[in-house]
Amino acid sequence: MTTQTTTPTLVHTREELAAALAVQDVQAVPRTESSRGRVGTAHTARPHRRAVVMTMGALHAGHLSLVSRARELADAVVVTIFVNPLQFSPSEDLSRYPRDLHRDLALLSGPGLLGPDDIVFAPGPDVVYPDGDPIVRVSAGSIGDVLEGVSRPGHLDGVLTVVLKLMHLTRPEVALFGAKDAQQLAAVRRMVRDLDVPVTVVGAPIVRDEDGVALSSRNAYLSDDERRRALGLSRALRARGTADEIRAGARLALQETEVDYVGLVDPVTFAEVPADFVGDALLLVAATVGTTRLIDNAVVQVGA
């Protein structure tokens, strides 16, 4: 018995996207469980009309889990594939970032993922930024001034600017983001709240490989030895004790990497928790292994 796959509608321009969204509005009727490759025939109502999953391509199982979740939440799905130059500094790996649209489309067309009523929007920079680098941009505020904001100044401003633009272009009711980029997820949630963007933001759990390494497009850069050293990031998240003991334990686990930061913060404000803090906090680590910069995070109980 063969498994049937379907191909989503691929568009590259604003005009093509607008036309595809218009068709989607008419034709993307609520799917039945059986039409989505699942057991049963009864229709299950979706809470949203359209969901968007924003990616930079080089898709892996983590991205596909977001798409699968989007299919559960909405009748129609849009996946964006765009390597956003605004979130890369001049010293970062924009030119090296892996790009393989043919492979990405094949993955997205797998069973239970995208179908012909769904859209893949893969624009170039000239489509997203038709007038060149935008003069007006979104500021991440205080959330963008710490951790990733210190290591990559302006990074989260670039992320929020493109996220807001893509929300306007794709017109979703719900947008899904992975929890691996926890600071990005928090910044997007705050932007949507502060700017009254009519989109529900849903965070999805981190997807990990069997060895515990969080899935990332950048993992492809790692040699076998670097992959072994990269295990230090997930080990660092097992640190327990007081706030200071957790920070110290995480740094010890990262001793075979070039540590960028270890942060133990309030999950909403991203302010560092004090030494006498007791309760749940977000532990975030960033480190370079070889030439590859990796991040990871987990909620930990402090002072237990």
Residue positions annotated with a catalytic role: 63
Q: Which residue has the tokens 């012909």?
A: 116
Beta strands in the chain (DSSP E): 9-11, 48-55, 74-81, 119-121, 174-178, 200-204, 258-265, 279-289, 292-302
- Structure tokens given for 302: 């402090």
Element (H, E) at 160: helix 155-170
Structure tokens of 280? 């749940």
Report whether 94 contacts 88 (CB < 8 A): yes
| Angle value at C-alpha 40, between 37 and 43, nearest 5 degrees | 90
182-194 and 155-170 are packed helices; what angle lies between their axes, rounded to 10 degrees? 60
